[in-house]
Amino acid sequence: MTPEEFRRYGRQVVDWIADYQEKIESYPVLSQARPGDVLAALPVHPPEQGEGYENLLADLERVVMPGITHWQHPSFFAYFPANASGPAILGDLLSAGLGVQGMLWATSPACTELETRMADWLAELLGLPAAFRSDGPGGGVIQDSASSSAVVAILAALERANGGRAGREGLTGRHTLYISSQTHSSLEKAAKITGIGAAGVRTVDVDPRTLAMDPARLDAMIAEDAAAGAVPTMVCATVGTTSTTAIDPVAAIGEVCRRHGVWLHVDAAYAGVAAVCPELRWLNEGVADYADSYTTNPHKWLLTNFDCNVLWVADREPLVGALSILPEYLRNQASESGEVIDYRDWQIPLGRRFRALKLWSVIRWYGAEGLREHIRTGVALAQRLAGWIRDEPGFVLFDHHPLSLVCFRPAWDGLPEDEANEATKRLMETLNASGDLFLTHTKVGGRVLLRMAIGAPATREEHVRAAWRRIVEETRKLEKSLQ
């Protein structure tokens, strides 16, 4: 493709994306494709001869679009949001256009240094501790996901627990990781990957009302394990759990960690970015005093296209110690001078994309004020929705909803629990099949709850109100049919 051809098709692609943004509400939120539909529309064999780009754009409409669930649709309330935004898309395009592979400082100094500055900017915007800044012993790095951050945080914790020899000599002890029943599944996966194993994962009880980890129980379990010869290695505290945005008491957990010399990782994948608003800074309580590592996802609620996760450590030494390797073919003067960061030593793969460009685009376009406004819109809409649910007869509201996720269900008066759960799921399936909105569910104390996560950039009150009206309407229909 010549630069001239690129210019022509590039303009078509940008126009296509802008058109898509304008007409996104005309699509059903949840793809109505059945398994195999997209596959069946694709040729089995690759083309022998190259072809014009117009054909691909036509097939994008014909083959791909029916199989798209519209995450940027203003009536997308499932999982957590995965925000896209104009500046982030353009930043990603610039990254692709430069085609840089930033494994070492030397392979493109700007890729590393812009990332360092962006991690510092974001730490400042979120009010994170000074120890996480690049001018101290710690620092931040952009990873592909909170899951990867969990893996490298565990590797750093293992390195520290083994006196800096785990990376070289392997694990000697029987290591344990502490989570709660509400912790994201990526921690258990990380335990499997890092050799702790599912058997080394301890699940600490939660308060049945708040679903927050019980620090006294954690303390007792760590003491028992240590007495039995295990090496308690990491505790993962979650700020904003995936199921209900429960918030573990980071300071109290941190006290326990400090007493036992255990690494504290704070997973704030969804909620952490909300601390851009001063009135939500309480989310960071305990982080400055106790967290060894902390992670949040601009790719969820902070207007930055997937993938963009940021991990900070208070001390970079165990992380780099666990992950650095230096084969002859990568030796270079800059690395040996010790004056530069080589981010390949902060992550699992060698190669890395220039992700800092999209974060730079987003932060400069919106400014701190714009980012705050986006978060505040999501929180305010969720609080309004919670009020409507509370005021509607025949609905039960889960009363913890400090951010933009609201959990609830119809009361289904008179139905036994298992039938009520079935009815809630049927309601959700009916709503999602309608294409008018998309929401998901969770289970709390044996009860199925609907989860409505607000936060797509285009979501306004009218969308939340329309979704709520649909939910009430379908609930009333189902109630009638169940009588």
Ligand X SMILES: *Cc1c(COP(=O)(O)O)cnc(C)c1O
* Contacts to ligand X by CB under 6 A: 80, 145-147, 184, 186, 238, 241-242, 267, 269-270, 297, 309
Q: How far from the centroid of its chain's Cα atoms is residue 291's Cα? A: 19
Which CB sits closer to ligand X, 245 or 475? 245
Q: How far is the CB of 58 from ligand X (least distance, A)?
A: 32
Burial of 430 by CB count in 10 Å (0-12 exposed, 13-18 middle, 19+ buried)? Answer: middle
Q: How far is the CB of 146 from ligand X (least distance, A)?
A: 4
Q: How far is the CB of 382 from ligand X (least distance, A)?
A: 16
Q: How far is the CB of 373 from ligand X (least distance, A)?
A: 23
Which CB sits closer to ligand X, 265 or 421? 265
For residue 237, the SS3 value is strand
Q: What region does 286 belong to: left with phi over 0, alpha with psi -120 to 50, or beta?
A: left
Which CB sits closer to ligand X, 16 or 306? 306
Which CB sits closer to ligand X, 85 or 297? 297
Which CB sits closer to ligand X, 286 or 321? 286
- The sign of the dihedral angle between the CA atoms of 239, 405, 78, 211 is positive
- The sign of the dihedral angle between the CA atoms of 428, 433, 439, 442 is positive
Q: How far is the CB of 233 from ligand X (least distance, A)?
A: 19
Residue 330 β-bridge partners: none
Q: What is the Cα–Cα distance from 271 to 243, expressed in whole angstroms? A: 12
Q: How far is the CB of 196 from ligand X (least distance, A)?
A: 17
Residue 438 β-bridge partners: 76
Q: How far is the CB of 366 from ligand X (least distance, A)?
A: 21
Which CB sits closer to ligand X, 112 or 238? 238
Q: How far from the centroid of its chain's Cα atoms is residue 439's Cα? A: 17
Residue 174 β-bridge partners: none
Q: What region does 99 belong to: left with phi over 0, alpha with psi -120 to 50, or beta?
A: left
Which CB sits closer to ligand X, 70 or 300? 300
For residue 164, the SS3 value is coil
Which CB sits closer to ligand X, 297 or 421? 297
Measure Cα distances from 285 to 150, 281, 421 in Å.
20, 8, 36
Which CB sits closer to ligand X, 72 or 242? 242
Q: What is the Cα–Cα distance from 432 to 28, expressed in whole angstroms? A: 9
To which H or E segment does residue 151 belong?
A: helix 146-161
Q: How far is the CB of 119 from ligand X (least distance, A)?
A: 16
Which CB sits closer to ligand X, 182 or 421? 182
Q: How far is the CB of 185 from ligand X (least distance, A)?
A: 8
Q: Determine contact, residues 223/181, Cβ cutoff 8 Å.
A: no
Q: How far is the CB of 269 from ligand X (least distance, A)?
A: 3
Q: How far is the CB of 390 from ligand X (least distance, A)?
A: 25
Which CB sits closer to ligand X, 176 or 244? 244
To which H or E segment does residue 417 belong?
A: helix 417-434
Query: In sequence order, what are the residues at sequence separation of 6 or more whose Cβ sits closer than 8 angstroms to the Cβ of residue 298?
Result: 122, 273, 304, 308, 309, 310, 359, 362
Task: Please report the DSSP string for 166-235 in residue order.
Answer: HHHH---S-EEEEEETTS-HHHHHHHHHHT--GGGEEEE-B-TTT--B-HHHHHHHHHHHHHTT-EEEEE
